[in-house]
Amino acid sequence: MIRFINVVKKYSDLVALKNINLEISDGEIFGLVGPSGAGKSTLLRTINKLEEVDDGQILVDTINVCELNGKNLANYRQKVAMIFQHFALLNTQNVYKNIALPLEARHFKKKEIKEKVLKLAEITGISDKLDSLPTTLSGGQCQRVAIARALALDPKILLCDEATSALDPNTTIQILDILKKINKELKITIVIVTHQMEVVKYICDRVAVINKGEILEIGKTEDIFLYKNKALETLVDEKPIVPTNGKNIKLIFPKKSASESLITKMARDLNIDFDIVWGKLEKFGDDVLGSLVINVKDKDFINVLTYINKTDVKYELIKGDNKDDISR
């Protein structure tokens, strides 16, 4: 468990983190999103004390991170690995040496190092490049090496700062699949800073939206994207364009199949017509969830709401480009 309690971080006059309270559970893949300058990297880097905080506490299990220094800090950092957008590999050393680096620095035996490097290279799919120099590898291959190196000392937590931002979409998916695998198989808690919403939807169990050093929302990824997405509106520009006449109701379905049966049944039961004016299906992890905006005539509005209220489908009323308060 990683716990932030009233954490404040300042850079002279600038308050980069304002009273952050947040808990990340063991085994979670947790996302931090927000616009540039929001404080995402700063928050991430307080977890391994690359940034010191000015107030508050950070607890990782029973360890008070803010109080660590010297040998205790070095020991702690072995358990909290980090990967970056630009990989931070040693370009004069081959892949084998890059992965072996943390083990050599801690004087592991040659045989142990070899076993470990081969195993990590296999997990990250880079076994065929062990003799290559990083300068001869693609971005995706470099990130595989960086992940293998990050795992060398069996960390409990992996911090990722824009780890896929320099990669193309296909390579991004491959790297995210590796992260998913190590989260599951090696039981590593992963904290991901990203500005890529696809990354969050693909991999994160929960997400916090940060802006100007404050957490605006925390929740399960699908809830943040499907329901209470006000904080995300500045980041994701995808407001439905809807008619100005009648009433527009955005229905949010737990599963794709549920949407089709509800709307056909509702039209039949209420004997009304309505238009489907906007719709979207999205993949969150392994689930496909959907939202649909229907436009109903004013005279049918109350009947439709009463009908929807009897189901487990959530809704929001959408009024032009503003959202009304009516929702559940």
Q: Which residue is nearest to Mg ion (CB)?
A: 41
- Does residue number 197 form part of the binding site for ligand ATP (CB under 6 A)? no
Distance in Å, CB of 212 to Mg ion, minimum: 14
Q: Fill in the per-residue mask, 41 to 80: x = in contact with Mg ion (CB under 5 A), - = not in contact.
A: x---------------------------------------
What DSSP element (H or E) covers 315? strand 314-319
List, in sequence order, every residue forming a beta bridge with 206; answer none if it has no partner: 30, 220
| DSSP annotation string for 228-279 | -TTTTTTT---PPP--SSSEEEEEEESSHHHHHHHHHHHHHHHT---EEEEE
Measuring CA to CA, which residue among 275, 272, 266, 267 is closest to residue 293? 275
What DSSP element (H or E) covers 111? helix 110-124
- The interface region with ligand ATP, picked from 8-16, 106-114, 181-189, 280-288 by CB under 6 A, is 8-16
194/183 Cα distance (integer angstroms)? 17
- Does residue number 77 form part of the binding site for ligand ATP (CB under 6 A)? no
Taking CB under 6 A as the criterion, which residues in 125-184 touch ligand ATP?
A: none
- Does residue number 31 form part of the binding site for ligand ATP (CB under 6 A)? no
- Does residue number 42 form part of the binding site for ligand ATP (CB under 6 A)? yes
- Does residue number 143 form part of the binding site for Mg ion (CB under 5 A)? no
What residues contact residue 92 under an 8 Å CB cut-off, 6+ apart?
A: 133
List, in sequence order, every residue forming a beta bridge with 7; answer none if it has no partner: 20
Taking CB under 5 A as the criterion, which residues in 6-25 touch Mg ion?
A: none
167/85 Cα distance (integer angstroms)? 9
- Does residue number 36 form part of the binding site for ligand ATP (CB under 6 A)? yes
- Does residue number 39 form part of the binding site for ligand ATP (CB under 6 A)? yes
Q: Based on CB atoms, which residue is closest to Mg ion, 41 or 124?
A: 41
**Six token digits for residue 219:** 């929740």
- Does residue number 11 form part of the binding site for ligand ATP (CB under 6 A)? yes
- Does residue number 14 form part of the binding site for ligand ATP (CB under 6 A)? yes
Distance in Å, CB of 314 to ligand ATP, minimum: 30
The full length of the chain comes to: 328
**Six token digits for residue 178:** 């590796």
154, HSE (Cβ side, Cα atoms, 13 Å): 2
Residue 205 DSSP one-character state: S
Measuring CA to CA, which residue among 119, 183, 129 is closest to residue 156? 183
Q: Based on CB atoms, which residue is closest to ligand ATP, 42 or 221?
A: 42
245 binds, among Mg ion, ligand ATP, none (CB under 5 to 8 A by kind): none
173, HSE (Cβ side, Cα atoms, 13 Å): 3
Q: Based on CB atoms, which residue is closest to ligand ATP, 117 or 146?
A: 146
What would you measure as the largest C-alpha separation in the chain, in angstroms? 79
236 binds, among ligand ATP, Mg ion, none (CB under 5 to 8 A by kind): none
Q: Fill in the per-residue mask, 156 to 195: x = in contact with Mg ion (CB under 5 A), - = not in contact.
A: ----------------------------------------
Q: What is the size of the binding site for Mg ion (CB under 5 A)? A: 1
- The interface region with Mg ion, picked from 18-26, 37-45, 118-126, 288-296 by CB under 5 A, is 37-45
- Does residue number 196 form part of the binding site for ligand ATP (CB under 6 A)? no
Q: Which residues lie near ligand ATP (CB under 6 A)?
A: 11, 14, 16, 34, 36-42, 195
Which residues form the interface with Mg ion (CB under 5 A)? Answer: 41
